[in-house]
Chains A and B, each alone.
Chain A
């Protein structure tokens, strides 16, 4: 079959390598013969699904704990500080192993069964990424809230709103519009960090390119494909977000986007 003719070099990198005296035979077609192409496409879909689900949970946790860190009530602030400082200061890889290998044994049996039925790798990955990035989003949202003048909160309260109403109706909507640039950065970090999920066996893009490498021993081709896919995804997201940033910018306010924390 023509598709399996791996021996024909089709790329000029071949010449560069030849010039440098390195013997490596390029076989780019390994990327588009089956089942390799299916692996890559499934990998892209898994990365997108993992990122999207984790992103929703992470943003929810981020808004919740980020807002809690600014409220005028000490116990709530303390809880949120402990969450943020502990979870964002430990490597995501450790959290992935913790949620995949360690955490399931402390859950009750029926929860564990549900996870095993619905793909325990995937949901452990979602848990680890959401909780870790939730702490990082919380920092972004906190600095967004803190860049809003305190008078907004006071005005809200003095016009008869409760603290939670003021947060829900005034502070958080303004903060969300202020933090679009650092939040974009953080979202891209989340997308790139889903690549760590390969370590617990989630078949996302990095996993797929490693798999092609294992089956064909064509490392350069497989890893180039993986890297290019991430580049394209990141570029696409930042283009969309740049557009949204212009749309959601608060008129008359110089961009004072809160600084992104680690």
Chain B
């Protein structure tokens, strides 16, 4: 079998513009899904992480149940849930993009919540006590003392989770959203060149995820000057 470069070159524009960025007749787009999903997922995650650490049981237990429930179910299942349930609930069909975005935010929020919790717990208890003793309120303690230290500890796991989310956006193709994977599927069905197509998008995905992990290593070094040799 000889590797067919021409098929990649001929379809690169469609794959990158439509599949990766989402500019084109089909909407969708891996980046257009991944970026809002990461931002919103992070917001939900912070709320869930703090809720799980709360002392009041009516805040604590719903967060625990939410996180544990979501973490025991595969993402495909969650996507199908929204795909079939949301139209029933609101009585009209919803575009794939919004179904996928909702499912990702709900799903990744649970994982990011766990990272936030672990990060906050990694800050020594004495810091919170000292802040309280110095007269800071709960919110002030969190914003000025705990979270800045916690976020530094969380960066490696957070970026790891963002990479996972970026890879997970490929699942949106299952419900028919035109992302990079769906675009490659469409092209390879037409050109009958699956080997080249899937290898090509594998390299594209890899370039994004690998550079994210390099940025994370750089950030980690930069934000911990005491560990720099």
A binds B: yes
Do B72 and A95 have beta carbons less than 8 Å apart?
A: no
* Distance A231 CA – B65 CA, assembled complex (angstroms): 12
A94 at interface, CB cutoff 8 A: yes
B 2-30 binary contact with A (CB < 8 Å = 1; else 0): 00000000000000000000000000000
A261 at interface, CB cutoff 8 A: yes
Do A103 and B76 have beta carbons less than 8 Å apart?
A: no
Which of A94, A101, A223 contacts B80 (CB under 8 A)? Answer: A223
Do A89 and B213 have beta carbons less than 8 Å apart?
A: yes
How large, as a class, is the contact surface on chain A? 35 or more
| Chain A 202-245 interface residues, beta-carbon cutoff 8 Å to B | 206, 209-210, 213, 219-220, 223, 226-227, 230-231, 234-235
A174 at interface, CB cutoff 8 A: no
Binds A, one of B94-102, B130-138, B139-147, B197-205: B197-205
Which of A24, A98, A220, A223 contacts B77 (CB under 8 A)? Answer: A223
| Chain A 84-121 interface residues, beta-carbon cutoff 8 Å to B | 85-86, 89-95, 97-98, 101-103, 105-106
Asked, given contacts A102-B195, A105-B195, A220-B85, whether A90 binds B205 with beta carbons under 8 Å apart, the answer is yes
Do A198 and B198 have beta carbons less than 8 Å apart?
A: no
Do A106 and B88 have beta carbons less than 8 Å apart?
A: no
B 74-104 binary contact with A (CB < 8 Å = 1; else 0): 1111001100110011010000000000000
How large, as a class, is the contact surface on chain B? 35 or more
Q: Give the interface SS of chain A, mostly helix, strand, loop or mixed.
A: helix
A256 at interface, CB cutoff 8 A: no
Do A92 and B198 have beta carbons less than 8 Å apart?
A: no
Pick from B71, B167, B194, B198 the residue with the most CB of A within 10 Å: B198
What are the 8 closest A-B residue pairs judged by CB atoms, nearest first? Answer: A219-B84, A101-B194, A102-B195, A195-B74, A91-B170, A98-B198, A192-B74, A89-B209
Query: Can you name 9 extra interface pairs (CB under 8 A) apart from A24-B88, A86-B206, A93-B181?
Result: A89-B205, A89-B213, A91-B170, A98-B199, A102-B195, A213-B84, A220-B85, A223-B77, A227-B77
Do A98 and B80 have beta carbons less than 8 Å apart?
A: no
B220 at interface, CB cutoff 8 A: no
Interface residues of A (CB under 8 A from B): 22, 24, 85-86, 89-95, 97-98, 101-103, 105-106, 192-193, 195-196, 198-199, 206, 209-210, 213, 219-220, 223, 226-227, 230-231, 234-235, 259, 261-262
* Distance A231 CA – B174 CA, assembled complex (angstroms): 22
Which of A94, A199, A206, A219 contacts B198 (CB under 8 A)? Answer: A94
B 199-223 binary contact with A (CB < 8 Å = 1; else 0): 1011001100110010000000000
| Chain B 150-203 interface residues, beta-carbon cutoff 8 Å to A | 156-157, 160-161, 163-164, 167-171, 173-174, 181, 184-185, 188, 194-199, 201-202
